[in-house]
Amino acid sequence: MSSHRAPMTRLLALLLLFLPLLAHAAEPSPKAAAPAKAPGTPFPQQVLHSAELYYSVLLFHPTAPKGDVVAEANKLLAAKYKELSGAWKSGAPTPEVVVEAVSQDKLDPIDEDHLRYFARKVEPEERKRLAGAKHATALNFHIPFAKRHESLLAAMRFSHQLAAEQKALLWDAETREYFSPRSWKETRVDGWSGGVPSLPSHITMHVYADGGAQRMITLGMVKLGLPDLVVEQVPGSMTSDMGKLVNGVAQLLAEGLGVSANGELAVDLTRVKDAKVQRMVTADDPKTAKRNAKLWAIEGRRDSGDPENPLLEIAFPGSGSAHARQLAALDALFGKKPDSLTAAPPGDPELEAVARKARARLNELRPRITKGIHPPEVLLVKAGFRTDDDNLEYMWMEVVVWEKDRLKGTLANEPFNVSRLRRGSPVDVAESEVQDYLYVSPTGTREGGESSTILMRREEQGR
């Protein structure tokens, strides 16, 4: 009997990461232990922490501000944010803030496409106001590393208060995100009264196609005096778990994790102190998760659009393909837990109807897909894969390319009875074999996935 998978919960988590928008396996064998030499130039220990931090926030004024914003900002700084005021003195570093009006000729036009990707924390009505903004004020922060945490908290509070008083919208120049004063307060200020911040609230992660896989990079680590993190050649179906790993490493670095002289990066998720990140990096299967892994920190390559901050690439030990090495590390950290199976008889009429409908819709989407898929656009299809006992196991795959009558990509599920495959393995299926599809358009609209809805309904009815 063939089986249909019902992985909707996992797929939704995967798709949320793709909209910027942050694997499991058996216990690693001795072969997967870190080699004596890093697979690249070890990240320099002396570069891990920047002595001086520079970051900026822009306030966009939808209408011309009344009064002198710079004077008001400096007055507010002196009255309420003394930890951010004072001149920078050699030998006795003190935080410094430079507030300046930005002339209109230095402002890039804000169009709808730009807002679609970078203004997800701004309400539609506020987007309209933002699109017409012709005035801005820059808040430039210069912070010594020793005061990075308390200064960042003060900088976030100061930026929020000034934006609220001026009825302005905020642009985090480091994470490339727009905020309303309310969303800024909820994301950057609320729940943090001091100490090491929860890093996912202050950074963002960009995921984009690069040579048939995904490249993941953080933005905003500069605000903590740390390098931004990069992971290369990640299968699209593994970006959700890789995002958990990256957030965990970012938090550990902020909490004091170091890098050895040879580039070894000892990641122990049980040592994460921040409660929010602890929940984020919880094990998928506590029975098989070791919760620690030895990775490599090497100098990251710089790509177009990367932040100017130093780049630390997280690399993975062992032999074999990049996918296999990444999977072994994710297995060790989070555990291996196959998706659940739901049995369905061959020729199930309800599922057959879904399959016919899916193939018809894919034929309509084909002209767009063949031009190339670019996040946040995502296409997944469900098809049967031959099991070890010569049956079929139906699983989802993320489509990377569509060539002639075959869709090629990476497996999005952890197989139950197909030992030759793992989640993230390269696979391809014929268009005629597709049983369902799930498509997310560049604007974020979603369609398809009817077979998972049917199977989940049957599971509920069978309980």
Helix and strand tally (H, E) in the chain? Answer: 11, 19
pLDDT of the residue at 343: 77
The DSSP bridge partners found for residue 444 are none
- Which residue from 140, 132, 66, 80 is spatially nearest to 104, judged by alpha carbons? 132
Mean of pLDDT values over 372-394: 90
pLDDT of the residue at 14: 33
pLDDT of the residue at 103: 87
The more confident residue out of 8 and 129 is 129
Tell me the per-residue pLDDT of 323-361, one tens digit each, with 9 for 90 and over: 999 999 999 999 987 677 777 888 899 999 999 999 999
Distance CA 126, CA 119 (A): 10
Question: Which domains can be identified in the chain, with CATH numbers?
Answer: 50-189 (3.30.1400), 199-334 (no CATH), 342-462 (2.30.30)
The more confident residue out of 400 and 221 is 221
pLDDT of the residue at 25: 28
Mean of pLDDT values over 134-160: 96
What does the DSSP assignment read for 1-17?
A: --EEE--HHHHHHHHHH
pLDDT band at 91 (very low <50, low <70, confident <90, very high): low
Residue 251 pLDDT exceeds 90: yes
Distance CA 82, CA 335 (A): 47
**What single-letter amino acid sits at 38?**
A
Q: Is 244 helix (H, G, I), strand (E, B) or coil?
A: helix
Mean of pLDDT values over 253-275: 97
The more confident residue out of 329 and 105 is 329
The separation between the first and the last C-alpha atoms of the chain, rounded to the nearest angstrom, is 21
Kindly state the helix (H) or strand (E) to which residue 359 belongs, with its residue range.
Answer: helix 349-369
Distance CA 1, CA 285 (A): 28
Q: Is 187 helix (H, G, I), strand (E, B) or coil?
A: helix
8 Å CB contact between 166 and 64: no
Residue 3 pLDDT exceeds 50: no
Mean of pLDDT values over 306-321: 94
For the ranges 116-130, 331-345, 356-370, 427-441, the lowest mean pLDDT is seen at 331-345
Most confident option among 79-93, 147-161, 445-459:
147-161
Residue 319 pLDDT exceeds 90: no
8 Å CB contact between 173 and 55: yes
pLDDT of the residue at 44: 97
Tell me the per-residue pLDDT of 195-212, one tens digit each, with 9 for 90 and over: 999 999 999 999 988 877
Residue 87 pLDDT exceeds 60: no
Mean of pLDDT values over 25-44: 62
Q: What angle do CA 386, 387, 389 make, to 5 degrees?
A: 125
Distance CA 344, CA 341 (A): 10
pLDDT of the residue at 26: 29
8 Å CB contact between 53 and 124: no
pLDDT of the residue at 90: 59
- How are beta strands 292-299 and 311-315 bridged, if at all? antiparallel
pLDDT of the residue at 20: 31
Mean of pLDDT values over 245-253: 98
Sheet containing strand 213-219, edge to edge, reads: 204-210, 213-219, 228-234, 311-315, 292-299, 264-268
pLDDT of the residue at 444: 80
Residue 23 pLDDT exceeds 90: no
- Which residue from 202, 330, 224 is spatially nearest to 276, judged by alpha carbons? 202
8 Å CB contact between 216 and 231: yes
Tokens matching residue 425 = 């393995």
The rounded percent of the chain whose pLDDT value lies above 70 is 90
Q: Is 112 helix (H, G, I), strand (E, B) or coil?
A: helix
Tell me the per-residue pLDDT of 296-306, one tens digit each, with 9 for 90 and over: 999 999 999 99
8 Å CB contact between 302 and 232: no
Distance CA 202, CA 453 (A): 35
The rounded percent of the chain whose pLDDT value lies above 90 is 69
pLDDT band at 117 (very low <50, low <70, confident <90, very high): confident
Average pLDDT, the chain: 88
What does the DSSP assignment read for 274-297?
A: -HHHHHHT--S-TTT--SEEEEEE
